[in-house]
Each structure stands twice: as structure tokens, then as C-alpha cells.
Amino acid sequence: MLWVLALLEHFPAVPMGTRFPLVAIPVIYVLGFG
């Protein structure tokens, strides 16, 4: 899960409205299948 935080740190300038879906998709995948 730490890699998710790393992704957030790599995209600090992206608006939350745009960043959230990009992060939520892999997070849901990891929680569901990881």
C-alpha cells in the first residue's frame, strides 16, 4: 500500500478531483484482489 502514497507524492499538482479516480482504481484493485 505504500506505493499508493508514493504515487500521491508524485502527483501533488494534480487536482484532487482528477487524482482521486486515478488512485482509487488501483487501490480498489489491490483491496479486492491483493
Range of the domain at 20: 2-33
Q: What is the largest CA-CA distance in the chain?
A: 29
Determine contact, residues 24/4, Cβ cutoff 8 Å: no
- Count of domains observed in the chain: 1
Rounded CA-CA distance 3/34 in Å is 13
Q: What is the pLDDT of residue 18?
A: 66
Cell numbers given for 31: 483491496
pLDDT tens for 6-30 read 776 766 665 656 667 777 888 888 8
